[in-house]
C-alpha cells in the first residue's frame, strides 16, 4: 500500500513540468530532428537557454498544440498543419523558415538517368514510391507537382503510397520500387539510394516549412528570440548543410 502511494507521488512529481522560464519547448517535424538537436545544443551554449525539442509527425504535433500542450515554437513540415493551429499562433510571428527540393531517388547500385520527371511515365518504372499524399507533407507536394505537370493520373497508377518518406526510400533501396520521390534532405540520410533527378526550384512546388510562436507556451519571449536566431546566418548554415533551403 505504501509503495503504491509513493509510486503515485513520484509519478505526479514527474508530471510537474520543470522550471519553464529558462527553456523553450520546440515542436519540430520529424525530418528536422537531427538538425534541430544540433542547433539546440549550439543555442544553449551561446545563450544559456535550454531548448527542448519534441519531434513527430506534423499532424500529431498540431493535435498536441490544439489540445493545449505548452509548446513555445512550432516548426511544421507543411502549411496545412500550421493552418490547423492558427488559433494558437501568436499573430505576426509566422514565417516561412525553410524550404526543400523534390528529387527522384533510385537505388544506388542501379543508377538511371532522367532528364525530367516525365521519364517516370516510361514502363521501365513499374512502381514509384511517394509519401502518402493523404498524410505525408512530401506526398502532398509531390502530388500537387505531378498534377501541375498533368501526369498525375498516369503516374498514380504506379504509385505506392508510403507511410513516410523513410519508408518510400527503403522500398527503393531494397528494390521493391524503381524510384521514389522524396526531399533532397531525405536522400542525405542514406547511401543506398541516389539522386536521379532534382526538380529545379523554379519549376517545383513551393515547399514551405513554416515556423511560428505558439500562444499556449510558457516562454513567448524566449520563443521569439529563438525564432529570430533560427532565421539568422549561423543557423541557416547548419540547415543548408543538412540539405535544406532557406525559406522564401
Partner 1 sequence: MDGEIFEIAVFTTAAALAATVVMLPPGIALAWVLARHRFRGKAVVETLASLPLVMPPVATGLLLLWLVGRRGPVGHLLEPLGIEIVFTPAAVVLAMAIMGLPLLVRTARAGFEQVTRRYEQMAETLGARPWRVFTTVTLPLASRNILAGALLGFTRALGEFGATIVVAGSIPGRTRTLTVGIYTYTETGQDARAAALLVVSVALAFGAVLVANRLAHVD
By CB under 8 A, name the binding residues for partner 1.
3-4, 7-8, 10-12, 14-17, 25, 27, 30-31, 33-34, 37, 52-56, 60-61, 63-64, 66-70, 164, 166, 186, 188-190, 216
Shortest CB 224 distance to partner 1, Å = 20
Closest approach, Cβ 99 to partner 1, in A, equals: 18
Q: How far is the CB of 225 from partner 1 (least distance, A)?
A: 20
Which residue's CB is nearer to partner 1, number 65 or number 211?
65
Q: Kindly tell me which of 142 and 164 has the beta carbon lying closer to partner 1.
A: 164
CB of 198 to partner 1, least distance (A): 18
- Among the residues of the chain, which ranges form H helices? 2-15, 33-47, 58-66, 79-84, 137-149, 152-156, 165-173, 184-187, 220-230, 233-241
Q: How far is CA 17 from the centre of its chain?
A: 26
129 closest CA partner among 184, 177, 188: 177
3-state secondary structure of 8: helix
Whether 212 and 65 have beta carbons less than 8 Å apart is answered as no
Nearer to partner 1, 33 or 151 (CB): 33
| Residues 205/79, Cβ–Cβ less than 8 Å | no
Amino acid at each position: 500500500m505504501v509503495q503504491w502511494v509513493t509510486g503515485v507521488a513520484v509519478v505526479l512529481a514527474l508530471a510537474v513540468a520543470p522550471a519553464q522560464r529558462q527553456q523553450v519547448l520546440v515542436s519540430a517535424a520529424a525530418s528536422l530532428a537531427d538538425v534541430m538537436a544540433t542547433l539546440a545544443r549550439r543555442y544553449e551554449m551561446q545563450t544559456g537557454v535550454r531548448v527542448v525539442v519534441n519531434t513527430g509527425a506534423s499532424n500529431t504535433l498540431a493535435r498536441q498544440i490544439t489540445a493545449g500542450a505548452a509548446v513555445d515554437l512550432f516548426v511544421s513540415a507543411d502549411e496545412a498543419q500550421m493552418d490547423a493551429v492558427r488559433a494558437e499562433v501568436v499573430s505576426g510571428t509566422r514565417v516561412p523558415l525553410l524550404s526543400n527540393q523534390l528529387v527522384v531517388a533510385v537505388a544506388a547500385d542501379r543508377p538511371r538517368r532522367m532528364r525530367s520527371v516525365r521519364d517516370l511515365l516510361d514502363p521501365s518504372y513499374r512502381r514509384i514510391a511517394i509519401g502518402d499524399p493523404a498524410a505525408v507533407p512530401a506526398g502532398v507536394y509531390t502530388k500537387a507537382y505531378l498534377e501541375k505537370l498533368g501526369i498525375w493520373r498516369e503516374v498514380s497508377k504506379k504509385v505506392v503510397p508510403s507511410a513516410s518518406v523513410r519508408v518510400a526510400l527503403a522500398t527503393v533501396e531494397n528494390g521493391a520500387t524503381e524510384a521514389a520521390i522524396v526531399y533532397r534532405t531525405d536522400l542525405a540520410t542514406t547511401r543506398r539510394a541516389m539522386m536521379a533527378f532534382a526538380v529545379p526550384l523554379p519549376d517545383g512546388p513551393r515547399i514551405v516549412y513554416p515556423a511560428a510562436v505558439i500562444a499556449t507556451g510558457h516562454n513567448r519571449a524566449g520563443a521569439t528570440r529563438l525564432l529570430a536566431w533560427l532565421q539568422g546566418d549561423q543557423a541557416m548554415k547548419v540547415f543548408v548543410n543538412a540539405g535544406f533551403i532557406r525559406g522564401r
